[in-house]
Amino acid sequence: MSEPTKVYLKDYTPPVFAVKNIDLDIKLYDEYATVYAKTAYERKTAGQFVLFGRDLQLQSIAIDGQALDTADYAVDDETLSIHHTPDEFVLETVVKIVPQTNTTLEGLYQAGSGDELMFVTQCEAEGFRKITFFPDRPDVLTEYRTRLEAPKRFKTLLANGNLIDSGELDDDRHFAIWHDPTKKPSYLFACVIANLEVLSDTFTTMEGREVLLEVYATAHDIDKCHVGMQALKDSMKWDEENYGCAYDLDRYMIVATSQFNMGAMENKGLNIFNTSCVLSSPETATDERSFRVKSVIAHEYFHNWTGNRITCRDWFQLCLKEGFTVFRDQSFSGDFRSKAVQRIDDVALLRSAQFDEDSGSLAHPVRPESFVEINNFYTLTIYEKGAEIVRMMATLMGKEKFRQGTDEYFRRYDGQAVTVEDFLSALASADERASLFLPWYRQPGTPVVSGDFVVNGDTVTVNLAQKTRHVAGYDAPIALPIPVDTAIFDGKSGKLLAQKMLLLTQDAQSFEFEGINLDADSRPVVSVLRNFSAPVKLEFDYTNEDLAFLVAHETEGFNRWQALQTLINRWLAGQTDDASFILSSLKPAVSKLRESDPMLAARLFDLPSQKELGMAYEENYDPAKVKARRDELVQIIADGLADVVGDWYQALPLVAYEDTPDARGRRLLRNILLDIALTAKIAQADTWAYEQYQQAGCMSERFGVLSAIINHDLPRKAEFVADFYDRFADEELVIDSWFSVQAASGKTSVADIAALMQREDYDWNTPNRVRTTLGALSAKPVQLWSEEGLQLYLSAIERLDKSNPQVAARMLGGFARWYTLEEKARTIAKQYLSQLQQVVSSKNVLEVLGNMLKDK
């Protein structure tokens, strides 16, 4: 097998030609489409004229009105080269494409069916080259004029920018012409040809300009767009207030489509969203989903400044837009609920998924130095760790300095395609410590911070050390700047005595807190890494008593939660068999918080996932053993709460739906308590479950209990599973959840999952549907690593490798730590992965498998 070609950051060269503008004319017919492109080029440096293009049938080509001879140019699978060109010229090409059979969901493709048939584009990262020949790279920015022509049954014709003209044509066809006055890279191009309804509103910017806001969805779904519309308005206001960033065009459109590889895409003025990330109503979306919708809308909107107006020089700089924008959407979301809960969620994702990636065979820096297929690099490392780096700088600089730095970034680089270094240099203009953070972008692996403290009179010395594993293929790790937010409490009175943001920059360092005046007979309790001030693994020398103290007294919500998590982790890791610390901390904390902050109370029950626990093993990992230990703790906690859980559950009656943090917290806590009551085998718990299902007033109430009924295999399970399906049979997204809740249950076998995948309504061309079962299977390591599990999962990958390689490659991520399994399972896993390597052909999947199997 030939090695797929790698691209290197060090090989970057500026574009040879600039594009002055482009006129596109896309004509859709029943079986194909044609794309006419008229592009004005201007030479910038010496070099050949080469454009990218894939799966395009070239129909005609001319320079300055003069048709080219076949000897004048060369076309291969990836490029079009013209041997001789003037330094300035206009190129005209016509290509034929077939969106109707494009299952990759990249470029222009068909989505939906019947009345809901539509055509949409996805151009990031390199999809524009599947629409026409172009220098499809993020540092070539230009102005687009787009004409769309299609049969009138597609009444919706949209492209970026402003609508210039529209009208009727012969043969029941019509057209629309759009012009985007801002210069943008091709990955931000979008168009939509569909038959959609629209929800409209307006927003007046701080500069006093009125912007038309439109959310497009099918007639069936248009009533589920109000949450998204409100989120859009909230985001626009938030970005003005927090970053001084206002929207620049007259119109902002969002289009919902049911077939989409990712969550959503920030195309200039014309975002395209997976229905799962925009549709929401109390009846059809859980609170979790509805909150996600708001954060994705915010994320894509925030890209208008961090990504679109200032874009990436090359794809190695992807974290420049994604990491920063994730940090921005996390901050936005934190302003709409408890900041501690937001942080808990973000850290939980980081730890369960990004740490996993960073500890396995797919580890890479936040700014990678090489890749085969850029689509494989939209990873948790680039997004989540990328966001953490920005957060560390923001935390260290403080609100005012950070704002000064971002203002400078927007002032300096607006309209440009830039690098991580540019970003850091703008921030460093406000606080030069920002420039210390470059190594965080270059070094893979999660740092481990260890520490303890000593007391000497009224001085407390905190000792910290850091270590990062050496990832093969990279330079030996160096010490990174690690902000460690630290507080000292009086162990008796619970009073906060001191707080400092420590900055660990060496391998080991000591920090002194002087003048710590304790109550008589008291001891200091030190709390480090408050609010998870850096993306590291912490091994601090807390006693169990200190941790219990922090659960009760820490004033910072995240570390309060973390203290309990640490106790839980110690038990799960077998460092102790005494669960009394957990119960005696958990019970009073929940009892105290269940009224005042039900959401945080609910989160205190969090346990690390099975997958996350598996990360502790570098070898001899036995998923069944890990699961058994975890199940045991679930039972211990439930039994320990058996005397109160019924009362707590009943103290939370179902009430009329409200979308407030408190109401969402109560709904979550109620579902968790019900689950615990069932685990504890409380006599009436089954009845409570059936009643809650029947009386549910919203999806959170109904779905939470359906999940409990399935997970606990209650006697009337089949009846409720069927009822849920019938109630929501015409709501695709709800049926997705119906698939995933069954697939995720510990009571569902691999064979049961296989049966779900055989159903008529399991559509292999809709990534959302495929993810329901495969995603659930990968969260159940015992089943995933069994022979049947591997067989089922990897045969699905083999199939997707042909139809949708992007999705296929993404779904393989969960196998990165196969080599840590105990001997027998490891041999089988290797055999299956190697077999897969023989039968797949996409470079997406081959790159991932190659990395996974290399040197192993």
CB of 378 to ligand BES, least distance (A): 4
Q: Does 334 bind ligand BES (CB under 6 A)?
A: no
Q: Does 387 bind ligand BES (CB under 6 A)?
A: no
Give the H/E segment covering residue 552: helix 544-553
Residue 345 binding target from Zn ion, ligand BES, none, CB below 5 to 8 Å by type: none
CB of 224 to ligand BES, least distance (A): 19
CB of 325 to ligand BES, least distance (A): 7
Residue 270 binding target from Zn ion, ligand BES, none, CB below 5 to 8 Å by type: none
d(CA 305, CA 243): 10
Residue 72, burial from CB neighbour count under 10 angstroms (0-12, 13-18, 19+): middle
CA dist 373 to 8, 124, 407, 805, Å?
12, 12, 34, 11
d(CA 134, CA 131): 9
Sheet holding 162-169, edge to edge: 66-67, 57-63, 88-97, 33-43, 17-28, 141-151, 173-185, 162-169
Taking the least distance from each CB to Zn ion, the nearer of 245 and 340 is: 245
Give the H/E segment covering residue 57: strand 57-63
Find all residues with CB under 8 Å of 689, minimum gap 6, and list them.
674, 678, 705, 708, 709, 712, 714
Q: Does 265 bind ligand BES (CB under 6 A)?
A: yes
CB of 329 to ligand BES, least distance (A): 6
d(CA 697, CA 283): 7
Residues 314-343 vs Zn ion: string with x where CB under 5 A?
A: --------x---------------------
Nearest residue to 117 (alpha-carbon basis) of 193, 25, 222:
193
Contact segment (CB under 6 A) with ligand BES among 48-56, 247-255, 291-299, 510-518 equals 291-299
Nearest residue to 394 (alpha-carbon basis) of 560, 534, 259, 195:
534
Residue 125 binding target from Zn ion, ligand BES, none, CB below 5 to 8 Å by type: ligand BES
CB of 367 to ligand BES, least distance (A): 16
Structure letter (DSSP) for residue 306? B
Q: Does 322 bind ligand BES (CB under 6 A)?
A: yes
**DSSP code per residue over 768-827:** HHHHHHHHHHHT-HHHHTSHHHHHHHHHHHHHHHHH-HHHHHHHTGGGTTGGGB-HHHHH
Taking the least distance from each CB to ligand BES, the nearer of 275 and 707 is: 275
Q: Which is catalytic among the residues 126, 266, 300, 357?
A: 300
CB of 667 to ligand BES, least distance (A): 23
Total of chain residues touching ligand BES, rule CB under 6 A: 18
Structure letter (DSSP) for residue 310? B
Q: Does 358 bind ligand BES (CB under 6 A)?
A: no
Taking the least distance from each CB to ligand BES, the nearer of 372 and 582 is: 372
Residues 225-264 vs ligand BES: string with x where CB under 6 A?
A: -------------------------------------xxx
Residue 468 tokens, joined: 């990062």
Residue 388 binding target from Zn ion, ligand BES, none, CB below 5 to 8 Å by type: none
Taking the least distance from each CB to ligand BES, the nearer of 183 and 810 is: 810
CB of 264 to ligand BES, least distance (A): 5
CB of 265 to ligand BES, least distance (A): 5
Residue 136 binding target from ligand BES, Zn ion, none, CB below 5 to 8 Å by type: none
List 299, 627, 664, 780, residue binding ligand BES (CB under 6 A): 299
Taking the least distance from each CB to Zn ion, the nearer of 322 and 686 is: 322
Q: Does 801 bind ligand BES (CB under 6 A)?
A: no
Give backbone dihedrals phi and psi of 760, rounded to 5 degrees, phi first. Answer: -60, -35
Range list of H helices, 699-780: 699-711, 717-727, 732-744, 750-758, 767-778
d(CA 566, CA 538): 10
What residues numbered 118-177 form the site for ligand BES, per CB under 6 A?
A: 124-125
Pair 92, 98: CB distance under 8 Å: no
Contact segment (CB under 6 A) with ligand BES among 162-170, 293-301, 479-487, 598-606 equals 293-301
Strand, helix or coil for residue 252? strand
CB of 264 to Zn ion, least distance (A): 8
Q: Does 357 bind ligand BES (CB under 6 A)?
A: no
Q: Does 266 bind ligand BES (CB under 6 A)?
A: yes
Contact segment (CB under 6 A) with ligand BES among 292-300, 397-405, 637-645, 788-796 equals 292-300
Buried b (16+ CB within 10 A) or exposed e, 370-382: ebbbbbbbbbbbb
- Give the CA angle between residues 165, 169, 170 to the nearest 5°: 175
Taking the least distance from each CB to ligand BES, the nearer of 300 and 597 is: 300
CA dist 309 to 18, 50, 158, 273, 301, Å?
18, 26, 21, 20, 12
Residue 838 tokens, joined: 């023989």
Q: Does 303 bind ligand BES (CB under 6 A)?
A: yes
Please state, as a whole number, how many other Cβ atoms lie within 10 Å of the Cβ of residue 167: 8
Please state, as a whole number, how many other Cβ atoms lie within 10 Å of the Cβ of residue 837: 16
What residues numbered 14-53 form the site for Zn ion, per CB under 5 A?
A: none
CB of 345 to ligand BES, least distance (A): 13
Taking the least distance from each CB to Zn ion, the nearer of 322 and 554 is: 322
Is 168 in the active site? no
Contact residues for Zn ion, defined by CB under 5 A? 322
Residue positions annotated with a catalytic role: 300
Binding residues vs ligand BES (CB under 6 A): 124-125, 262-266, 295-296, 299-300, 303, 322, 326, 329, 375, 378, 383
